[in-house]
């Protein structure tokens, strides 16, 4: 029996860890707000996901900071166009809460594939940044396995984790 339990716990311990985690209720509330901000599916919306980013452990999402709360013109054209000159406001929010930007998220009208502008002009052009894309204006299919999950590696290179067997984003 002891041998069996040690093998079982060893196996569980060796399982791949997600890169990022979020409380399911927080995720669903944040996603519902993104859907509301599409104004009845007439435009895209998005947010910065702020939280904890410990070394060698999953990043933890603690809050959604919506693009249009920082840049009131971010959603004007129907697609997300965030003005980088507004970033100091985001850094101030992070500083006040003792958190960091751990990812960003935005909605698309159709599927969750990255557009050419998503690929060439990331909101956070820093290697190791994560980006999520919700399909169908975040009306349905808003959990891992049905959303775009991307990792920016720098120099225009992205890794698509959307259908990865290893968990990338985990809701708890």
Give pLDDT, residue 6: 45
Give pLDDT, residue 3: 46
Region for residue 18 given its phi and psi (left: phi exceeds 0; alpha: psi -120 to 50; beta: otherwise): beta
User: Which domains are present in the chain?
Assistant: 15-171 (3.40.140.10)
Give pLDDT, residue 14: 62
Q: Where would I find the H helices in the chain?
A: 2-13, 24-37, 67-70, 87-97, 116-120
Beta strands, E only, the chain: 20-22, 46-52, 59-66, 100-107, 130-134, 148-154, 157-160, 169-171
Query: Residues 104, 46: contact at Cβ < 8 Å?
Result: yes
CA–CA separation, 77 and 99 (whole Å): 30
Its pTM stands at 0.90
Report residue 153 CA to chain centroid gap.
Answer: 15
Tens of pLDDT along the chain (172 residues)? 554 444 445 455 566 889 999 999 999 999 999 999 999 889 999 999 999 999 889 999 999 999 999 999 999 999 999 998 999 999 999 999 999 999 999 999 999 999 999 999 998 999 999 999 999 999 988 999 999 999 999 999 999 999 987 789 999 9
């Amino acid at each position: 029996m002891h041998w069996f339990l040690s093998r079982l716990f060893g196996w569980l311990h060796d399982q791949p860890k997600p890169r990022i985690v979020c409380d399911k209720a927080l995720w669903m509330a944040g996603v519902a707000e993104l859907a509301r901000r599409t104004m009845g599916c007439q435009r895209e919306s998005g947010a910065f996901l702020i939280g904890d980013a410990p070394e060698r452990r999953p990043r933890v999402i603690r809050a959604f900071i919506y693009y249009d709360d920082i840049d009131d013109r971010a959603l004007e054209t129907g697609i997300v166009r965030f003005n980088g000159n507004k970033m100091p406001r985001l850094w101030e929010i992070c500083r006040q809460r003792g958190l960091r930007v751990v990812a960003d998220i935005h909605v698309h009208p159709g599927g969750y594939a990255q557009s050419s502008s998503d690929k060439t002009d990331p909101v956070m052009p820093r290697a190791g940044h994560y980006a999520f894309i919700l399909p169908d204006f975040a009306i349905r299919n808003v959990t891992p396995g049905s959303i775009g999950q991307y990792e920016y590696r720098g120099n225009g290179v992205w890794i698509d984790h959307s259908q990865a067997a290893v968990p990338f984003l985990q809701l708890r």
